[in-house]
Structure 1
């Protein structure tokens, strides 16, 4: 009997698909952000042994229960806020993530947003495209000597810290769960989020979305930041209170922001789109071709290992 895997929300990279197909696995994919009815129809028809989750609003209890053969759910990336993990636990289905495979791409993207904000790239590009050449309008500044505060100090935060330090930035991080040994090479540990927000010239978010971090950066927290500070979010959109951020940017309460994720994705029309001190990217920090390849290879390898009863990769987290 053929083993089938359904990828919900777009195809895996060719290298990951090849690993599965060479192992005799039938691979079926939906388009990005499919309708629930489409997903249910595919699962019910093909009865897959595994679901691989990419771009989807929510994989709910109905989808998880639709295949009597389902043995594992694998997130093509990290973060399980788009999977009903509680329902999976009730059904006894493990949920795994490809932790770390795209960490370098996300860290680079965060650094890119920071540089674009500090160097005033968006406004300068707009000026030239509109026929305006006036160096007096340049508002760029150096990052050397600036303080960057990282909220969350897992692998992505640690990689970004190693990138920021050679520029000359002073790096501190707030993460009550990170071990002390993670704080090395001049990175200081800040035990209070409020203190980190108040002292940082750049605040970059790298925490997972949990009940504790939902709305973590709201009006009160933004009010603690310097008026010259930038906020960068390459984590999850729901970590930031978007209406509070909009108000702060409109009022000049902070200098600017760079967002790669949003509370609703795909996002509906928002006042965010009209703000000149905001840089937006469509949740692509971790989906460079290099990262997509690495995530697909790790995901395919671990799904195959699980189905064969073999050991999974060390940097992959599983929940049951």
Structure 2
């Protein structure tokens, strides 16, 4: 009998699909952000051995138990806040992630947001489009000598730190779980989040979403920041208290924000949309074609290995 997997939230890249199909695995997929009823119907019909999770609100216990053949849940990317990991653990179903496959793309996207904010690109583009040519309105500044504060110092944060070093930025990171050897190349280990926030010109978020990081950047934390500081979030939207951030941006309490993720996705209309000191992208930092290909290949490689009873080809932090 053919082994089947269901990808929830859109198709994998062609390279990953080809690997699965060559291994005799039939691949069924939903469109992005499917409703629960659609997922349940597909899982009940095809009884997959694996669920690959892309763009969906939540893969819950009901979806997992709907297939009596389910052996593994694989996140097509990193971060498992859209998977009920506790339910999977109770059912004895491992959850794996494609850790690191899209890290470089996310780091590049973060740097792009930082540059666009500090160089005042959005406002200057708007001035030109509105027929205004006035260099006195330019509010750009150099990154050289500016302090970049990283909240979370895993692979993405470490890549970003290496990227900004030649520019001349001073980098500090707060991450109580990062090993000492991660702090190389002049990166300073911040001993508290408060100190990092107070001293940084740009605060960039790279921590996972957990109960400990939900709402991590709120009213009190934003009040610690410099009025000239920028916040960049390419992690998870729920790490930031969005109403608190909106109020601070509206009041000019901080200089601006670059946001790639939101508390609700797809997001409802928000006051953030109207603010001239905010840059917005639709959670695409890690989905360049290069990253999507790498994530799909890593995910396919490890789903195949797991279903064959072989060791995973990458260290993906498998959870049971």
Same fold by TM (over 0.5)? yes
Q: Provide the alpha-carbon RMSD of the alignment.
A: 0.5
Q: How many residues align?
A: 320
Residue-by-residue CA offset, 1:127-161 (whole Å, 9 max, x unaligned): 11111111111110000000000000000000000
Could you list the per-position Cα deviations for residues 93-131 of structure 1 after superposition, in whole angstroms to 9, with x for gaps in the alignment?
Answer: 000000000000000000000000000000011111111
Q: Secondary structure at the match of 2:166?
A: helix
Report SS of the residue matched to 2:165.
helix
Secondary structure of residue in 2 paired with 1:318: coil
2:262 counterpart SS class:
coil
Gaps of 5+ in 1: none
What do the CA deviations read for 1:229-255 (whole angstroms, capped 9, x no partner)?
Answer: 000000000000000000000000000
Residue 42 in 1 paired to residue 37 in 2?
A: no
Q: Which residue of 2 aligns with 1:171?
A: 171
Offset of residue 9 of structure 1 = 0.1
Residue 240 of structure 2 aligns with which residue? Answer: 240
Moved segments of 4+, more than 3 Å: none
Aligned mates of 1:118, 1:28 — CA distance in 2: 44
Question: How far is 1:313 from its partner?
Answer: 2.9
Contact between 1:127 and 1:133, CA under 8 Å: does it hold in 2? yes
1:92 is aligned to 92
**Residues 276-313 of structure 1: CA deviation (Å, up to 9, x unaligned):** 10000000000000000000000000000000011113
Alpha-carbon distance in structure 1 between the residues aligned to 2:61 and 2:314: 28
Provide Cα deviations, 1:63-94, integer angstroms capped at 9, x if missing partner.
01000000000000000000011111111100
- Indicate if the aligned counterparts of 1:100 and 1:315 stay in contact, CA closer than 8 A: no
What does residue range 14-93 of structure 1 map to in structure 2 within 5 Å? 14-93=14-93
1:37 and 1:246 mapped to 2: Cα distance? 34
Gaps of 5+ in 2: none
Could you tell me which residue of structure 2 aligns to residue 137 of structure 1? 137
1:216-255 mapped onto 2 (5 Å cutoff): 216-255=216-255
1:105 corresponding residue in structure 2: 105
TM-score (normalizing by structure 2): 0.99
Per the alignment, residue 159 of structure 1 pairs with 159
Q: TM-score, normalised by structure 1?
A: 0.99
* 1:255-274 equivalent positions in 2, closer than 5 A: 255-274=255-274
